[in-house]
Amino acid sequence: MEKIKYLVVLLLAVCMIGCSNNHPEVPANYVSNDRVPNIFPEYTEVTIPANIAPMNFAVREVGDNCVARFSCKGRELTYGDGKNVIIDEDEWKDLLAEAKGGEIKVEVFVHEKDGWKAYKPFKMYVAEEDIDPYISYRLIKPSYVAYEMLSMNQRNITNFEEKDIYNNKLVQTEAVGQCVNCHSYRNFKTDNMQFHMRQGFGGTMIVYNNSIKKIDLKTDSTISAGVYPAWHPTEDVIAYSTNKTGQSFHTKDKAKIEVKDTESDLILYDVKTDEVSNISCLKDELEVFPTWDADGNYLYFCSAHWEYLDTISHESEIMHRYNEVLYNLYRKSFNAKTHEFGPVELVYDAASKHRSVSLPRVSPDNKYMLFAEGDFGCFHVWHPHADIYIMDMATQEVRKVENINSSESESYPTWSSNGRWIMFGSRRDDGNFTRAYIAYFDKHGNAHKAFELPQKDPNFYTFQGRSYNRPEFMIEPVLITPQEFAEVAKQEPIHATFKSTKVSSNIDGSTGASIQQINK
C-alpha cells in the first residue's frame, strides 16, 4: 500500500511538472544589439487580433538559448526553450485581453558564446476588432498533376486546433484518384457551403441549410461543371465559372508552371431547383472568378478578351501565347427578384496597362475590392510577379496594398466578416509553398504588416510540405463530419438541368467586343 502511495505522489509530481509553465529568468547581464532579432515566422511590428492563438516563434540567431519577454501594462511574461519561444495559451489570452487596442512589447535575449545579447525590442500591436475564429483552406502538396494527398481543413485560429473538413483518402482508391477543391461559404457561415470533387466520385458537394447533396453541374449546354464558385449573400444561387483548363511547364522560368483556360464562361446554379443557366458566354472572352458584392446587387468577375489565330490547336496556341492573356475586371448587375443580370460593365481595365487581374473579393461594407494582379494570366498563385491590389469602390481608384506584398506570389485575398482583417496566400517563405498570411485593415483603408498563421511549433512550416490553398474566413466551424461527406460522395450525383435564359452582354470597346444579345 505504501508503495502505491509513493507511486501516486510521484505521478502527481510528474504531472505537475509537465503542466507547469516554464518562465525562464531574463538575464541580468547582457550586451545590447541595435537591431531586432531574426525570428521565424516574422512577427515583428505586426498588428494582431485579440483573439489569435499564441504567436510562437523561433529565434534564428547564432546561439544556444533564448529568452523572450512579453510586456504590457506592467504585466510581464517570459518564455524560451532552446531557440523556440512557445507561449502558454491561457497566459497569452490574458495578455491579449489586457493589450487590446494597445501593444505588447517583446524583448528577445539570445545566449551566445560570449554571453547574453539583448536585441532591439519590437512590438505586436493588438487591434480593437477581433478576427473570425475559424479559417479553412485546402492542404495540397505544391504538385502539378498528381493529387494523391488532398484535404480541406478548418483551423480554429484562436488556438491550434485543426481538423479535416474532407479528405480525398476517405473515398479514393488506388485505381481512381479524387481531386477536391474550391470550398466556399455563404456569408462566412457553414450551413450553406460547397466544394468540388473531380475524377473519382466526381461532383459538387452542396450543403444547403445543413443538408448535403451531390450535384453534377455539367450539362450539354455548358463547357464544364462549375469551377470557381460564389454564393449569393441572400438568394439560393451560386455563380460559377466553367472552364476548360490545362497546364504546361516552364523549362527554365522560376514560375515552373502555367495554368490557363482555353475556354471559360459564367453560369448561375439554382440550389433549390438544381437548374443551371448562363450568365456570360461570349465567344472571344475568357470569363472567370465570379464574386458578389456584399448586397448581392452586382456580380464581379474577370474576363480576358482572347481571339484565337486558329493556326494550331487552341491548347498549343494558348501555350505559346500564354503571356498575352490579360484579364480585366467587369461586373453585371443582378436582380434578386427575377434572377436576371444586367449588361456587362468594365470596372478596371488592367489589360491596357499590360496587367492581369484575378480573384476579386468585395469587402463586407462594399467600400473596397481586393484582387490579385500580375503581369499576365489568372493563376497567380504560381506567379512571383503577382501582388494584392485594392480598389476603392467609390472612386474606382486602384492601388497596390502596402505592407502586405512581397517579391514572391501573393494571391487569393479574402475579407473577414467584419472587414477589418484580410487574409491571402503568399509564397514569401520560400517561393514554393503557399502559406496563409493575415493583415489588419484599418478604418482608413490601410493594411498593416501581415503575419503568418501562427502554429504551435514555430518550425512547423519548415518541416511541413503542403500549401495552404484558398484560405477562407468562417465565423463557425463546419459541423458535418468528413465521414458524412464521404458517404454522400460515394452516391450518384443529381444531374443539374440547363435552363435557357437571355444573356445580355456589353463588353467595353477597348477589348473589341460589341454590345450584343446572346440567347443560348
Residues at the site binding another protein, with contacts judged by CB under 8 A: 141-149, 151, 164, 166-167, 169-175, 248-254, 256-258, 319-320, 322, 429-433, 457, 459-460, 462-465, 481-483, 486
CB 187, min distance to another protein, A: 27
Minimum CB–partner distance for residue 84 and another protein (Å) = 11
- For residue 190, count other CB atoms closer than 10 A to its CB: 21
Residue 246, CA atoms < 13 Å, CB-side half-sphere: 13
Task: Report whether 52 contacts 131 (CB < 8 A).
Answer: yes
Report residue 112 as a C-alpha cell: 551566445
Nearer to another protein, 250 or 399 (CB): 250
Asked if 112 and 62 touch (Cβ cutoff 8 Å), the reply is yes
Query: What DSSP element (H or E) covers 11?
Result: helix 2-19
Look up residue 460 and give its DSSP letter: H
**Least separation in angstroms between CB 434 and another protein:** 13
> Judged by CB, which is closer to another protein: 168, or 194?
168
CA atoms within 13 A on the CB side of 305: 18
| Residue 177 C-alpha from the chain's centroid | 24
Tell me the pairing of strands 57-59 and 39-40.
antiparallel
Q: Which is nearer to another protein, 234 or 313 (CB)?
A: 313
The CB-of-145 to another protein minimum distance in angstroms stands at 6
Tell me the closest approach of the beta carbon of residue 49 to another protein, in angstroms.
26
d(CA 237, CA 264): 19
Nearer to another protein, 51 or 172 (CB): 172
Residue 156 or residue 248: which is nearer to another protein going by CB?
A: 248
Q: Which is nearer to another protein, 320 or 353 (CB)?
A: 320
Distance CA(383)–CA(237), nearest Å, equals 32
Q: What CA–CA distance (Å, rounded) separates 386 from 382?
A: 8
Of 259 and 475, the one with the shorter C-beta distance to another protein is: 259
Say which residues have a Cβ less than 8 Å from residue 119's Cβ, sequence separation at least 6: 33, 35, 36, 37, 61, 107, 108, 109, 110
Considering only CA atoms, give the Rg of the chain: 25
DSSP β-bridge partners for residue 478: none
Residue closer to another protein by CB (options 252, 443) is 252
Closest to 501 measured CA to CA, from 239, 275, 319, 273: 275
* Closest approach of another protein to the CB of residue 125, in Å: 26
Question: What is the side-by-side strand order in the sheet with 421-426?
Answer: 410-415, 421-426, 435-440, 451-452
Counting other chains too, the contacts that 192-195 makes at CB distance below 8 Å and 24 or more residues apart are 192/231, 192/271, 193/231, 193/478, 194/229, 194/231, 194/238, 195/152, 195/165, 195/166
Least Å from the CB of residue 430 to another protein: 4
343 vs 431 by CB, closer to another protein: 431
Q: Of 418 and 432, which has the nearer Cβ to another protein? A: 432
| Closest distance to another protein from the beta carbon of 254 (Å) | 7
Handedness of CA 194, 195, 201, 202 (dihedral sign): positive
Residue type at position 247: Q
Least Å distance, CB 253 to another protein, is: 6
Nearer to another protein, 128 or 430 (CB): 430
Q: Which is nearer to another protein, 378 or 503 (CB)?
A: 378
Compute the C-alpha angle 107/112/114, nearest 5°.
115
Instruction: Give me the least distance between CB of 154 and another protein, in Å please.
Output: 12
Q: Tell me how far, at minimum, the Cβ of 138 lies from another protein, in Å.
A: 14
